[in-house]
């Protein structure tokens, strides 16, 4: 493929969007853009992120989205939320770019758990499900909004009175048997010919806001494979999709839900060699794919990450060597990441050190190229670093006293090692 395609991720502030971003940011076939309705973390992730779009249920969304599409010459829109997936699937013909999604009928059925259960009626892996309190033979049961995501509104109901009270809230719920056992997510990929190419189960060991934030890949059993193959026969999928199952009291897996989209924790499967967002794009580019999954055990664990935006402006970076660039005999990889990023941005890098032995030899021993630096300045014990630093610079040193002298004398920003994270620009 000669030219990179412009891909717009909407909404760009979801965990789904961040997985799409991480999966595609290094592809030579893709240039990524984001779009959001509200200010969010996406502006720290996407190099270009349009904000202030109407919400997904607003009639003004499609004209506003088309304006972004036309402005940035977008080729494809990648939905990154269930509601956006449904709306954009419904509005495919009105959009000025192709929507990366399975057929509309598949999206509509999967968006509603009750529609899904009706569509799959008779499948052996369905839980017992009910459409009214009078049809429930025994308690407890489990209810979840029929149209929803994550674990929002999901709860155990232990008697008829509480079920009737929940249903009186006006929300449409799916009501099914209580499933007390192990819960899995199964990542799947269906190629452009309809063949199911990947079935990759993973655990849901810790959940936050309905997203598995601790997950490991698991062996594929015949039971899970049979469910995946049957779903692939019944639905028309195009690209990545996933389903969730949970064991009943007898130890058999029962289907919770299906989503024909990227999952926020598909990064686990991606790091085993199966890049679902990219493979899905290949489907839309009419490309056949070969797969090389790694045979390894992988554990993913996620926590909050801090990203920063600063108004600092500088043209040069001065950095110390001992206990700064080299800490306990090891290269400070995080600081090196910043230095290479600064170099890519056209900053001038200077090494300013009192290192006692030959700095060029020790840089080579640490596999740090001396050519990284525009200037290497070695001071004696009595030399002052303030004498060598030019204006419009920042200074990085582990020593508080050195930082204080530079700050007091020159008034420039100074950074300890723990502050370097505020200098990293994660946008791509």
Mean pLDDT over 108-125 rounds to: 95
Give residue 149's pLDDT: 63
Cα separation, 96 vs 313, whole angstroms:
38
Give residue 152's pLDDT: 64
Looking at domain 5-100, its CATH architecture is 3-Layer(aba) Sandwich (3.40)
Give residue 87's pLDDT: 97
* Residue 163 pLDDT > 90: no
Question: Can you read off the two tokens belonging to residue 162?
Answer: 């509480």
Cα separation, 9 vs 76, whole angstroms:
9
Give residue 144's pLDDT: 84
Average pLDDT, the chain: 94
Residue with tokens 């090891």: 330
* Residue 291 pLDDT > 70: yes
Indicate the range of 126-135, 286-295, 364-373, 378-387 predicted with least confidence. 126-135
Give residue 147's pLDDT: 82
User: 180-295 has which CATH code?
Assistant: 3.30.470.20
Mean pLDDT over 296-316 rounds to: 94
Enumerate the domain spans of the chain.
5-100, 128-177, 180-295, 316-423
pLDDT digits (tens, 9 = 90+) for 30-44: 999 999 999 999 999
Q: Does the domain formed by 316-423 have CATH 3.40.50.1000?
A: yes
pLDDT class of 171 with cuts at 50, 70, 90: confident
pLDDT digits (tens, 9 = 90+) for 72-115: 999 999 999 999 999 999 999 999 999 999 999 999 999 999 89
Residue with tokens 């500088």: 314
Residue of 374, 378, 379 lying closest to 393 (CA atoms): 374
* Residue 16 pLDDT > 90: yes
Cα separation, 324 vs 399, whole angstroms:
9
Give residue 2's pLDDT: 62
* Residue 366 pLDDT > 90: yes
Mean pLDDT over 36-60 rounds to: 96
Give residue 138's pLDDT: 85
Give residue 150's pLDDT: 58
pLDDT class of 151 with cuts at 50, 70, 90: low
Cα separation, 295 vs 272, whole angstroms:
7
Quote the pTM value: 0.91
CATH topology agreement for domains 180-295 and 316-423 = no
Cα separation, 107 vs 235, whole angstroms:
10
């Amino acid at each position: 493929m000669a030219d990179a395609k412009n891909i717009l991720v909407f909404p760009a502030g979801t965990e789904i969007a961040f997985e799409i971003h991480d999966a595609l940011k290094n592809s030579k076939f893709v240039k990524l853009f984001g779009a959001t309705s509200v200010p969010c973390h996406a502006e720290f992730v996407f190099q270009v992120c349009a904000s202030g779009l109407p919400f997904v249920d607003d009639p003004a969304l499609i004209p506003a989205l088309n304006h972004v599409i036309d402005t940035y010459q977008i080729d494809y829109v990648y939905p990154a939320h269930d509601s956006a997936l449904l709306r954009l699937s419904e509005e495919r013909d009105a959009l000025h770019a192709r929507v990366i999604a399975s057929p509309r009928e598949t999206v509509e059925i999967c968006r509603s758990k009750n529609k899904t259960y009706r569509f799959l009626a008779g499948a052996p892996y369905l839980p017992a499900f009910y459409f009214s309190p009078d049809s429930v033979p025994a308690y407890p049961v489990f209810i979840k909004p029929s149209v929803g995501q994550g674990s929002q509104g999901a709860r155990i109901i232990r008697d008829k009175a509480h079920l009737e009270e929940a249903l009186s809230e006006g929300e449409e719920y799916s009501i099914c048997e209580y499933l007390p056992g192990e819960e899995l997510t199964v990542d799947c990929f269906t190629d452009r010919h309809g063949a199911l190419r990947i079935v990759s189960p993973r655990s849901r060991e810790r959940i936050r806001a309905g997203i598995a934030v601790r997950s490991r890949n698991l062996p594929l059993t015949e039971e899970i494979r049979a469910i995946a193959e049957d779903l692939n026969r019944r639905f028309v999928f195009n690209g990545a999709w996933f389903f969730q199952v949970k064991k009943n009291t007898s130890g058999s897996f029962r289907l919770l839900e299906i989503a024909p989209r990227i999952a926020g924790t598909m990064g686990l499967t991606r790091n085993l060699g199966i890049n679902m967002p990219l493979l899905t794009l290949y489907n839309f580019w009419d490309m056949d794919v070969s797969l090389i999954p790694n045979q390894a055990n992988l554990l993913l664990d996620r926590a909050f990450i801090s990203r920063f935006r600063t108004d600092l402006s500088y043209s040069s970076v001065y950095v110390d060597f001992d206990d700064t660039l080299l800490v306990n005999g090891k290269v400070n990889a995080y600081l090196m990441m910043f230095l290479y990023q600064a170099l890519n941005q056209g900053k001038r890098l200077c090494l300013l050190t009192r290192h006692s032995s030959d700095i060029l030899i020790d840089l080579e021993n640490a596999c740090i190229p001396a050519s990284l630096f525009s200037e290497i300045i070695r001071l004696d014990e009595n030399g002052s670093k303030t004498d060598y630093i030019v204006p419009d610079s920042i200074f990085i040193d582990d020593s508080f006293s050195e930082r204080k002298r530079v700050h007091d004398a020159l008034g420039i920003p100074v950074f300890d090692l723990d502050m370097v994270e505020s200098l990293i620009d994660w946008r791509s």
